[in-house]
A and B are shown apart, each in its own frame.
With several copies, the nearest count.
Chain A
Amino acid sequence: MSLSPSLKKLDLEKYGSLLALGVLFVLASIVGRPYFLRPENLINVMRQASYTGIIALSMTFVIISGGIDLSVGSLAAFVASCGVLFMNLLVKATGGNETLAIAGGVAVMMGLGLCCGALNGLLITLGKIVPFIVTLGTMSIFRYLSLQMANAGEFASHSQRFGEFGMAKLFAFKAGESSISLPVPVAVLLALAFILSFVLTRTRYGRYLCAVGSNARVAQYSAVRVGRVRFWAYAINGLVIGISAALLAARFNTVSTPNFGLSFEMDAIAAVIIGGTAMAGGRGSVWGTVIGVFMLQIIQNMLNMAGLSPYLQGVVKGVVIIGSVYIQRQKQ
């Protein structure tokens, strides 16, 4: 798999997560027979996981810093709405230069995401309000702003290309009868995981993030600018949400304001925690989160493939989540 070289970077403590993922994979291969192991399905699983997965990556930063961000889903909706609106304007203004329009739209989404994330960060660090409350508030604010803008409707993009870009694949090649390829969002997920993991483990900022999350007072006494470190966790999160929002909007080629990004916060947080990051902050790993993301999606996919009754699916899902984390904890 494409992960393996990077997985070596995981220290032994993360071994449990890998083991749990492995067990789950085997289970899914059996339960989801014969569909689960088909290449298209595995690619589907990866793509399905990638939109919230991307957000989970930067959520890892936020949680390591000792915070939480509930506003991610609403923020994605808001950012995507503004981005698509701007893109449509550009399409008109440039007389149909879609490449430029898409670039502009995506830039707006990322820029606005950064700003909104920075707003969260400012309220938390300067306003000294706990992250849970700040992001609970902005969750409501961003969602209703988008609803207001669209009158609870949707923004369809006027660019055909944008939609094609959302479905694009990289390195497609034939393997036997089916073609294997890497969908763009999965590539983005892996690239971002690589970058963020690098930042976390190899840069000063990453070190400070752990220090601040583990013990903010000690960090402060050690001449770390605690406020700044936390601020950037939220700002980076905003930026990454912008990226995810762009990919998701491209996939649907439309932004439906009531539903876009709904309950992303829970999915992202769950993936982070399953990936072994401590809820209280201080330590965690980006690749662990990637594993958490895939674990959650594999569980869902496996149950779908097994064709259980929907209600039973919900019950089994709960059991499997608890079970996999149990395996993981035992082996640590």
Chain B
Amino acid sequence: KRIGVSMPSATHGWMGNANWWATRAKTDWEARDKNVKIELKFSGTVNQQVSDIEDLLVKKVDAIVVFPHDTSVTSVVEKAYEQGVYVVVLDRGVSKEGIYDVYITNDDEAYTRKGMEWLAKQMGFKGNLLLITGIPSPIDTIRTDTIKEVCKKYPNIKILDVQPGDWNKQKSTTVMENYLQKYKQIDAVYTADDDMMLGAMQAYKESGRKDIKFFLGGGCLKSVIKEIMDDSNPLVKADVTYSPSVIATSISYGVIGAKGDKLNPYVYQVRALPRRVILPSELVTKANAKDFYVPEAPF
């Protein structure tokens, strides 16, 4: 059985992790089952991704796992599905229902909500908050909106500013440096992922200031989880899962689907697997951090 995987190439840490998980799933499955062959395609743009998927279809793969750049892949995914290929779509979605066998996603809303609620509580429901967001895109908009919505409940929390850090450590460092110039009293910083949080924290450290009490990112970078586990950084006490391993899970679904296996003999469905899987976002604190620590992951 051959499974094709198409996902964005790494341009930031989280996606780097996701690429690593995909590679790991490939090695694991191919070791486990001689008949399984997994082919990975990392693409820089959505156009390239569509080409990759088309190329995989020419190669007559049995299942295809797509982590889309955006919904532009809808029509090619539909084509795959119509050709009878087992289709697993994740995270950023397609704009049409019923053109996939499994849809698996992280919960963007819960991801930010959980983090923000925790942060609000730590802040004592008051103080000045700064946001650093990702590249302007639909999921980024959902996240930002969710944060704003949560903060509306706590009138004493003031969002001082929102600027994009483009999921890039260096850019986020720059943004943070500018924030530090602009705002004399900052209590907490929320960044859209851990990569950017590290950049922002770097700027804060370099400034020598003492006012910020909390940094919160997300996505569980290894080094961040380690700090939480060891309680070694007073500024970082928690993280939220938005697991890059979702791709590995999806590949597993793809393999099972391609083989025609049933995931669970007690579930009866048309095409053997659940159609929608939403992975919960969990709050990671010192208490449960070691469950999320993957020492061999690259990030």
Contact = CB atoms under 8 A, between A and B. Distances in A.
Interface stretch (A96-104, A287-295, A303-311): A303-311
Interface in A173-206: none
A263 B171 CA distance: 12
A154 B75 contact: no
Contacts of B170: 51, 248, 252, 259
B175 to A, nearest CB: 7
B74 interface: yes
Contact of A310 (B40, B168, B177, B223): B40
Given A48-B177, A147-B10, A304-B175, A259 B72 contact: yes
Contacts of B46: 256, 259-260, 262
Interface string A298-332: 00110011010111000000000000000000000
A152 B58 contact: no
B274 interface: no
A243 to B, nearest CB: 16
Contacts of A258: 9-13, 15-16, 19, 70, 135-137
A156 B12 contact: no
Interface string A29-72: 00000010010110010001001100000000000000000000
A301 B55 contact: yes
Interface residues of A, number: 39
Contacts of B15: 258
A304 B135 CA distance: 15
A48 B171 CA distance: 9
B161 interface: yes
A48 B51 contact: yes
B72 A35 contact: no
A167 B75 contact: yes
A88 B298 CA distance: 16
Contacts of B180: 40
A257 interface: yes
B16 A152 contact: yes
Contacts of A256: 13, 16, 46, 69-72, 138, 169, 195, 299
Which range holds the interface residue count of chain B? 35 or more
B138 A167 contact: no
Contacts of B12: 258-259
A227 interface: no
B47 A151 contact: no
A89 interface: no
A92 to B, nearest CB: 19
B136 A154 contact: no
A257 B13 CA distance: 9
A99 B95 CA distance: 23
A66 to B, nearest CB: 28
Contact of A305 (B17, B42, B169, B181): B181
Nearest to A166: B75
Given A258-B16, A259-B13, A156 B72 contact: no
A74 B73 CA distance: 19
Nearest to A249: B72
Given A41-B58, A251-B202, A256-B46, A153 B51 contact: no
A254 interface: yes
Contacts of A300: 48, 51, 174
Interface in B278-299: 297-299
Contacts of B140: 152
10 contacts: A44-B181, A52-B47, A156-B71, A248-B47, A252-B170, A258-B9, A258-B19, A259-B13, A259-B72, A263-B44
Interface of A: 35, 38, 40-41, 44, 48, 51-52, 147, 150-154, 156, 163, 166-167, 248, 251-254, 256-260, 262-263, 297, 300-301, 304-305, 307, 309-311
Interface of B: 9-13, 15-17, 19-20, 23, 39-42, 44-48, 50-52, 54-56, 58-59, 69-75, 95, 133, 135-138, 140-141, 161-164, 168-170, 174-175, 177-178, 180-182, 195, 198-199, 202, 205-207, 223, 297-299
